[in-house]
A and B are shown apart, each in its own frame.
Chain A
Amino acid sequence: MSIEATTQAGSTPQQRERATTIFEKGAPGRRAFRAPALDVPPVEGLIPDALRRAQPPRLPEASEPEIVRHYVNLSKRNFDLDSGFYPLGSCTMKHNPRLHERVAALPGHARLHPLQSPRRAQGALELMFNLQEALAEIAGLPHVSLQPSAGSHGELAGVLLTRAYHADRGEERTKVLTPDSAHGTNPATVTMAGYEVVKVALDAAGGVDLGDLRAKTDESVACLMLTNPSTLGIFDQNIEEMASIVHDVGATLYYDGANLNAIMGYSRPGDMGFDIVHFNLHKTFTQPHGGGGPGAGPIAVSDRIEPFLPRPQVVRRPPWAPNGERASANGGEANGGPPVYDLDERDGPDSKSIGKLRGFQGNYGVFVRTYAYIRSLGAEGLKDVSEVAVLNANYVLARLRAEVGDRLPLAFGERCMHEFVLSGAPMKKELGIRTLDLAKRLLDHGMHPPTVYFPLVVDEALLVEPTETETRETLDAFVDAIVAIIAEAEDDPEIARNAPYGTPVRRLDEAGAAKRPRVRQAL
Chain B
Amino acid sequence: MAGYTSVTPEDLEHMLAVIGVGSIEELFDAIPEGVRLGRPIDLPPGEPEQAVYAELRRLAARNVSAEDEITFLGAGMYDHYVPSIVDMLMSRSEFLTPYTPYQPEVSQGGLQVMFEYQTAISELTGLPVSNASVYEGPSAVGAAAYMAKLANKRPRVLVSRGVHPHSRETLATLAVGYGTTMGEIGLDDSVTDLAALREALSDDVSAIVIQQPNFLGAVEDVAALTEAAHEVGALVICAADPLTLGVLEAPGNQGVDVCVGEGQSLGNRLDYGGPSFGFFAATEKHLRSMPGRIAGETTDADGRRGFVLTLQTREQHIRREKATSNICTSQALNALGGVVYLSWLGRQGIVDIGELMLQRTHYARETLAGLDGVSRLHDQPVVREFACRLDVGALDGVERVLERCAAAGVNAGYALGRSYEEHGDGLLVAITEQRSREDIDRLAAVLGAAVAAEQSVARSGAGVSS
Contacts and interface: CB of A to CB of B under 8 A. Distances in A.
B357 to A, nearest CB: 10
Given A356-B169, A364-B273, A290 B345 contact: no
Contacts of A310: 173
A155 B97 CA distance: 24
B77 interface: yes
A124 B42 CA distance: 22
B40 A115 contact: no
Given A59-B347, A107-B60, 11 more contacts: A40-B359, A60-B346, A108-B63, A108-B65, A113-B66, A122-B63, A149-B274, A294-B331, A323-B465, A506-B301, A506-B302
B265 interface: no
B329 to A, nearest CB: 4
Interface string A185-200: 1011111111001000
B187 interface: no
A42 B363 CA distance: 9
Contacts of B132: 292
A250 interface: no
Sort chain B's interface into a size bin: 35 or more
A520 B35 contact: no
21 contacts: A19-B112, A47-B381, A50-B221, A57-B123, A59-B123, A80-B95, A99-B52, A113-B411, A160-B174, A271-B37, A290-B334, A291-B99, A291-B332, A294-B275, A356-B170, A375-B47, A379-B43, A382-B43, A472-B15, A508-B299, A519-B296
A247 interface: no
Interface stretch (B26-34, B154-162, B194-202, B387-395): B26-34
Interface stretch (A299-307, A388-396, A427-435): A388-396
Nearest to A236: B30
Interface in A443-482: 443, 448-449, 451, 454, 468-472
B67 interface: yes
Nearest to B287: A517
Given A71-B89, A76-B109, A510-B298, A188 B320 contact: yes
B181 interface: no
B231 interface: no
Contacts of A498: 301
B310 A519 contact: yes
A62 B99 contact: no
Interface in A270-311: 271-273, 282, 288-296, 310
A169 interface: no
Nearest to A150: B329
Given A39-B437, A150-B329, A194-B177, A116 B346 contact: no
B9 interface: no
B317 A376 contact: no
A179 to B, nearest CB: 12
How extensive is the interface on chain A, given as a class? 35 or more
Interface in A410-441: 415, 417, 439-440
Contacts of B348: 29, 31, 56, 61
Given A35-B352, A271-B36, A293-B133, A520 B112 contact: no
Given A52-B248, A59-B343, A102-B53, A150 B177 contact: no
B22 interface: no
A265 B53 contact: no
B334 A293 contact: yes
